[in-house]
Structure 1
Amino acid sequence: MRVRYSFSSRRTRTIDNKNDHRVAYPKLAREVIRISDIILEVLDARYLEETRNIDMEEHVKELGKKLVYVVNKADLVKISEVKAKLEELNLKPYVLFSCTRKMGKARLADLIKIEIKRMKVKFFKAHVGIIGYPNTGKSSLINFLVGRGVAGRSPERGHTRGIQHVRFNKDILILDTPGVIVESETFAGSDRALQKHAKSGVRNYDKVKNPDLVVANLMKEHPGKIEKYYRVKAEGDSEILLDEIGRIYNFLLKGKVIDIDRSARLVLKAWQEGKIK
């Protein structure tokens, strides 16, 4: 269904078609970038690199828009480590954000107002576009920022539908988009891309292929965390871990064989919901 807008000519100018083949993400996200004065890219503090959308970042910069990195779920990491990683990746400006700890709201609100004032936007409401992968917490961020429940929230990937318009104040409008997965990653189906999506919650735990392999990878990258959460001694062996979890939760197939797939999805669900820290 086509989305209608009533924006001024300042916001509806066309973009040179020569760049169209480089834009590998849905039209709605491109539209939000085009009509916004400032773009907020929401990243998961635990997976900065995995939740960056380089294609969108490049498109934002090509259009000369201001890009701000909002590092969400900052309460789930060591602040010193995530700051060091941000410096290493040269992601500036950034705001560390956490709805749970009520962190970053004032700084982000002030940054938005300062940038809008610097742009000297007149006669029109300033537009702040929000982009990012699914499940990075965009809707939660908006609700926390404006102080009311205006954006739908769900742990299910792709919950937001269409472009949502949210009033920040009388002069600023926030535009939210559905979570975007880079098209090349969606269709490539590589093990690396799938594991990346499963870890960060981009791809929902019940739709992940080979969840046991993803759990094995998580155990290598975060030794001891999953074992500690489930109180299982596995010594880094994912097969032992999943087998024990299956016994604990009575995940059995015919012949009393442990349902490893179900055990693995239980782990991924807890991981994506931020329960395993």
Structure 2
Amino acid sequence: RSRKPFIIVINKCDLVSKETLEKTKIRLSKIAPTIFISSKNKFGTTMLRHKILETAAIKGRDILVGSVGYPNTGKSSVINAVSGRHSAGTSSISGHTRGEQLVKAGSRIRFIDTPGVIPFDENDETILGLLAVKDATHLKDPTGVAMKIIEKFCADNKTALESFYNVTIEGQDSYDALLLIGRQSNYIQKKGEVDETRTAVRIINDWQKGLLMI
């Protein structure tokens, strides 16, 4: 609404295939300039810096860049990668950034690191879990979210799921697959039953931390 120029930054691009990145860039570039970043591997940081300078098109003045997005998507990590120093605090747990912080990135660019935001109409807990907006301990139904992760892998890359947890999934639904993973992980309660919640929390954490890659 303010007609400010903006750039779409996709962080953690090292977690998906090149084919997925190319398809995503084609789609998002129709909305705004799109840059892929891997804060972990320092990929795309120079490109983002150049795109900021190009998009702002302000000569002789400092450029103030606001960072807006879901919690736990790595906004602070992107700022640190571009600035070349660990100025913005980071954590794998959502909600780490509590207030605004000004971070200098070079002679002209200044970032405003801000807490993550969630749209008012975004109340689907499964989506929030899949996007790592909410960590497993804050989800009301971690088992349901974990089952959705299993369903996604069974549809797109079942081998990766089986290999990561050292299981073989043959015809089981997502709930049975979750129990199989729990049993293989030795998450067993006193009566010999699988601890569903503990298993679900592990699956969600593995997904959100990028250990379980599709």
TM-score above 0.5, yes or no: yes
Whole-Å separation in 1 of the counterparts to 2:86 and 2:165: 34
- 2:26 maps to 87
Which of the numbers 84, 87, 91 marks the counterpart of 1:154? 91
Report the alpha carbon displacement of residue 121 of structure 1 after superposing the two structures with TM. Answer: 6.2
Structure 1 pair 245–219 and aligned structure 2 pair: CA distance change class (3 A): closer
| Correspondence list, 1:89-238, <5 A | 89=28, 90-116=30-56, 118-120=57-59, 122=61, 125-185=62-122, 189=123, 193-223=124-154, 224=158, 225-235=160-170, 236-238=172-174
Whole-Å separation in 1 of the counterparts to 2:24 and 2:53: 27
Whole-Å separation in 2 of the counterparts to 1:101 and 1:170: 24
Whole-Å separation in 1 of the counterparts to 2:182 and 2:149: 18
Q: How many pairs does the alignment contain?
A: 207
Whole-Å separation in 2 of the counterparts to 1:276 and 1:250: 19
Whole-Å separation in 2 of the counterparts to 1:100 and 1:120: 31
1:273 and 2:212 equivalent? no
Residue type of the alignment partner of 2:183: R
Report the alpha carbon displacement of residue 221 of structure 1 after superposing the two structures with TM. Answer: 2.0
| Correspondence list, 1:38-49, <5 A | none
Query: In angstroms, what is the RMSD of aligned CA positions?
Result: 1.8
Identity level (%):
34
Partner of 2:91: helix, strand, or coil?
coil
Q: Which runs of 4+ in 1 moved over 3 A?
A: 119-122
- 1:63 maps to 2
Structure 1 pair 249–222 and aligned structure 2 pair: CA distance change class (3 A): closer
Partner of 1:143: helix, strand, or coil?
helix
Structure 1: gaps (5+ residues)? 1-61
Structure 2: gaps (5+ residues)? none
Partner of 2:6: helix, strand, or coil?
strand
Structure 1 pair 86–238 and aligned structure 2 pair: CA distance change class (3 A): same
- Give the conservation status (yes or no) of the 8 Å contact 1:227–1:241: no
Q: Which TM-score applies when normalising by structure 2?
A: 0.89
Residue type of the alignment partner of 1:169: G
- Give the conservation status (yes or no) of the 8 Å contact 1:163–1:176: yes
- 1:29 maps to none
Q: Which TM-score applies when normalising by structure 1?
A: 0.70
